[in-house]
A and B are shown apart, each in its own frame.
Chain A
Amino acid sequence: MNDSKKLPGKLEETDDGQILFSVPFPTALDSEALQSLKGMRPIIVKQPYAIDYIHSYGQDSPFFAGLASRTLLGCQDRESGYTYPNPRGHDMYTGEPTDWVQLPDRGKVHAFTVCHFGSEAFLPETPFVLVLVEFEEADTLLLSRLVGVDPLAASLDWIGMSIKARYLRNSKFKPTDIYFVPVE
């Protein structure tokens, strides 16, 4: 120990975070005052929370590379030909690795909704149309957005509508790099 060095005797305080300069509290802590604390209303504070994740698309990466190249890739079981428009490294029935196949840009609306509200991240985009797309060449569906229909004129007649893929010019490497519009 260096006796000449003065060690800090208290924590350094900063001006960040919650600051409430005067907290209502009994001036004398007698038993009655202590008991009264049970009737105190709760202190509720706001705590920000944000984080950036490093997210790998792993074996699904070619799907996103395909979208960035204006190409919809699906996954196919070599033996059965069972085809998923979603990326899937292994087939759920044979357990075998799937092969990448190119899917057509045209499909049909299998189901849809118009979101008038949404999760916070998507609220600015409301109303938007979600669709599940069916392809003649695939056995399952693809979740996507549909534009070019009036979201305020939703109709069950949209189901079965022929639609075609469009791609963002500047890929964001998200599944929204592809979206669909009605076939004229």
Chain B
Amino acid sequence: MRPVYAVSGGVSKFAKARPDKTFQAVVKEAYDYAIRDLGLDFRRFTEMVDGSVASYFSDHFTRQLMAGIMAQDYLGLCPKPGHRVEGGGATGGICFQEGWKNIASGLMDICVAYGFETMSHVNTWKGNEFIALASDVSLDYPVGGFYSGYYAMMVTRHMKEFGTTVEQLATVSVKNHLNAFHNPYAQKRNRYTIEDVRQAPMVAWPLTRLDICVMSDGAAAVILCSEEGLEELERASGRSLPRVRVTGIGRGTDAMRMADRPHQTLDDFLRLNALPHEREDQETLKYYEDLWDQGFRYPGIHSFRAGRMASKIAYEHAGLSNPGSDLDFVELHDAYTSSEIQTYEDMGLCRYGEGGPYATSGKAFMPGLEYGLDLVDSPVCPVNPSGGLIACGHPVGATGLMQAVFALWQLQGSVEQHFGDSTLQLEGARRGAIHSHAGTGTYVTVSILEAEE
């Protein structure tokens, strides 16, 4: 496999509705931005790019089959190679990794991964119905198909199992919304308190409206290339481009019906799912023994085995030994405040069961921001510095690529240039992870990006 670099990206403004443009034209906003950021004009880049991968989740939302080729056509990429990928909420993350494969395999030297979603074509509750069709339509959807309901069941089990509190969940909402206050691309830029989150309308007990991301229209694009492709782009633009390499990719899956997921023994967990740093630490092994003695079983419905698998493979690929200290930041799929807490655990930022206290510790917060919270620890690995899905919005097919763009800008040190505000730029960020997640944890991708010296 050849080294793969992310060199440029663009994100359309995420909004509740974009009736001013068709989806193709919204994709073009993100695509043109990425081209401009390379210092190239459209014609020159079109000559150089070898192909694409298109990402959008729902044929129901677009009410248009083969929407991918319509974007490809509008972007002027025909007749170059391209295809559409779909994997629920992880569609964008999968798209990014398929672009990576195009480069790593030697098939292409320059590839654009673009994605979009237009969720405003139906009302919010019909939109929820469309999303719930991404649950088994024979056995899950008819019982009361509602993703917030599915996640809320995970929450009650997490609370019962580990003592996680609704205030810990709300802390994630406060953090991500406040981060997004400094991100002009975000759909929601508000300051909230724990009380605001808890007093918001109850959606699915105990998740309130401020625990849950909103629906959006939007698009994002990332340009990936090989060493040769990068040099070619540099020659064409006359610029030296920052080297940000995608050093690891990982994916995992789990059963569509979360009721069908296993309740494994400790031995199986250690053999199949534990991260190396967990297996090597005696205190952690003892911690897990105690958990299993108390009746904990893995993954059950409180943990995402797919997220753990994706992390494990990506870390191994990138040569990370301890994500908590090896990663400078993470952009993860916080469709719910609770799923951010669950994902801390899956990604090994903390141990299973410790996601709640980790959320309130301060370790996942941005340095230098005043959140109005009493945080014990200093930031260690800021999570969702961009504001995440909860605040930025979640136009499904674009979301995983949006994360890639924000991660790229962090590692390029170009946040101020793109945001017009340097508040969210992490000083000296060298390595970050992006995490994209589908369904009730059915497909999950983790990709590692690193700035080269």
Specify which chain A residues have a CB less than 8 angstroms from the CB of B261 in the assembled complex.
Answer: 140
Pair A143/B139 contact, Cβ less than 8 Å? yes
Chain B residues in 8 Å Cβ range of A140: 259-263
Q: How far is the CB of A134 from chain B (nearest CB, A)?
A: 9
Is B339 at the interface (CB under 8 A from chain A)?
A: no
Interface: B152 (CB within 8 A): yes
B160 CB-CB contact with A under 8 Å: yes
Check B294 for interface membership: any CB of A closer than 8 A: no
A144 within 8 Å of B (CB atoms)? yes
- The answer to whether A141 has its CB under 8 Å from any CB of chain B is yes
- Is there contact, CB below 8 Å, between B153 and A112? yes
Q: How far, in Å, is A37 (CB) from chain B's closest CB?
A: 13
Contact residues on A (Cβ < 8 Å of other chain), bracket: 35 or more
Given contacts A119-B132, A132-B301, A159-B157, contact A143 B143 (CB under 8 A): yes
Contact B260 A132 (CB under 8 A): no
CB < 8 Å neighbour of B301 from A86, A111, A115, A118: A111
Given A49-B63, A111-B301, A132-B153, A139 and B160 contact (CB-CB distance below 8 Å) = no
| CB pair B63 A42 closer than 8 Å | no
Q: What distance in Å separates the Cβ of B429 from its nearest Cβ neighbour in chain A?
A: 37
**Is the Cβ of B125 less than 8 Å from the Cβ of A119?**
yes
Using Cβ atoms and an 8 Å threshold, which residues of chain B touch A88? Answer: 260
A interface footprint on B134-155 (CB within 8 Å = 1, 0 otherwise) = 0001111011111011101111
B74 within 8 A of A: no
| Chain B contacts for A85, CB-based, 8 A | 259
Q: Which of B197-205, B323-331, B441-449 contacts A (4 or more CB under 8 A)?
A: B197-205
In the complex, whether A44 has a CB less than 8 A from a CB of chain B is yes
Contact in complex: A119, B142 (CB < 8 Å): no
Whether B260 and A144, one on each chain, are in contact in the complex, defined by CB atoms closer than 8 angstroms, is no
The answer for the CA separation of A122 and B125 in the assembled complex, in Å, is 9
Whether A86 and B144, one on each chain, are in contact in the complex, defined by CB atoms closer than 8 angstroms, is no
B123 CB to nearest A CB, Å = 7
Kindly state whether residue B20 has any CB partner on chain A within 8 Å: yes
Contacts of B203 in A (CB 8 A): 115-117
A7-15, A20-28, A95-103, A123-131: which one contacts chain B? A123-131
For residue A142, CB closer than 8 A to chain B, the reply is yes
Q: Which of B54-75 contact A (CB under 8 A)?
A: 63
CA distance A4 to B159 in the complex (A): 83
Residue in A closest to B121 when the chains form the complex, CB atoms: A47
Assess whether B206 is interfacial by the CB under 8 Å rule. Answer: yes
Q: Is the CB of B138 within 8 A of A57?
A: yes
Cβ of A121 under 8 Å from chain B = yes
A72 to chain B, nearest CB (A): 13
Total cross-chain contacts (CB, 8 A): 138
Complex Cα spacing A144 to B257, Å: 12
Evaluate contact between A118 and B125: CB separation under 8 angstroms.
yes
On whether A122 and B145 interact (CB within 8 A), knowing A49-B63, A88-B260, the answer reads: yes
How long is the Cα–Cα vector from A154 to B131 in the complex, in angstroms? 25
Residues of the B chain whose Cβ atoms lie less than 8 Å from the Cβ of A130? 143-144, 146, 149-150, 152-153
Q: Are B145 and A119 in contact (CB under 8 A)?
A: yes
Given A118-B144, A140-B261: A92 touches B149 (CB 8 Å cut-off): no
**A176 to B143 Cα, complex, angstroms:** 6
Complex CA–CA separation, A114 to B206 (angstroms): 8
B255 CB-CB contact with A under 8 Å: yes
- Asked if A120 is at the interface (CB within 8 A of a chain B CB), the reply is yes
Question: Complex Cα distance A118/B132, Å?
Answer: 10
Which of B128, B156, B255 meets A156, CB within 8 Å?
B156
Q: How far is the CA of A55 from the CA of B138 in the complex (A)?
A: 9
Find the A residue at minimum CB distance from B145.
Answer: A119
**Is B125 a contact of A117 with CB atoms below 8 Å?**
yes
Which residues of chain A (6-62) have a CB below 8 Å from chain B?
Answer: 41-42, 44, 47, 49, 55, 57, 60
The smallest beta-carbon distance between B119 and chain A, in angstroms, is 14
Q: With A and B bound together, what is the CA distance between A87 and B160 in angstroms?
A: 28
The answer to whether B144 touches A174, judged by C-beta atoms less than 8 angstroms apart, is: no
Cα of A75 to Cα of B159 in the assembled complex, Å: 30
Chain B residues closer than 8 Å to A159, beta-carbon distance: 156-157, 160
Q: Which residue of A lies closest to B154 (CB)?
A: A111
Instruction: Find out whether the CB atom of B153 lies under 8 angstroms from the CB atom of A156.
Output: no
Chain B residues contacting A144 (CB-CB under 8 Å) are: 143
**Do residues B138 and A175 form an inter-chain contact, with CB atoms below 8 A?**
yes
What are some 9 contacts across the A-B interface (CB < 8 A)?
A86-B259, A87-B139, A118-B125, A119-B126, A120-B129, A140-B261, A141-B301, A143-B143, A159-B156
Where the two chains meet, the residues of A that have a C-beta atom closer than 8 Å to any C-beta of B are: 41-42, 44, 47, 49, 55, 57, 60, 84-88, 92, 110-123, 125, 128, 130-132, 139-145, 154, 156, 159, 174-176
Give residues in B with beta carbon < 8 Å to A: 19-21, 63, 123, 125-126, 128-129, 131-132, 137-140, 142-146, 148-150, 152-157, 159-160, 201-207, 255, 257-263, 301
Q: A110-B157, A113-B155, A145-B143 are in contact. List 19 more A-B contacts (CB 8 A).
A: A57-B138, A110-B301, A111-B154, A113-B152, A113-B156, A115-B149, A117-B125, A117-B204, A119-B128, A119-B132, A119-B144, A130-B146, A131-B153, A132-B301, A139-B262, A142-B259, A143-B143, A159-B156, A159-B157
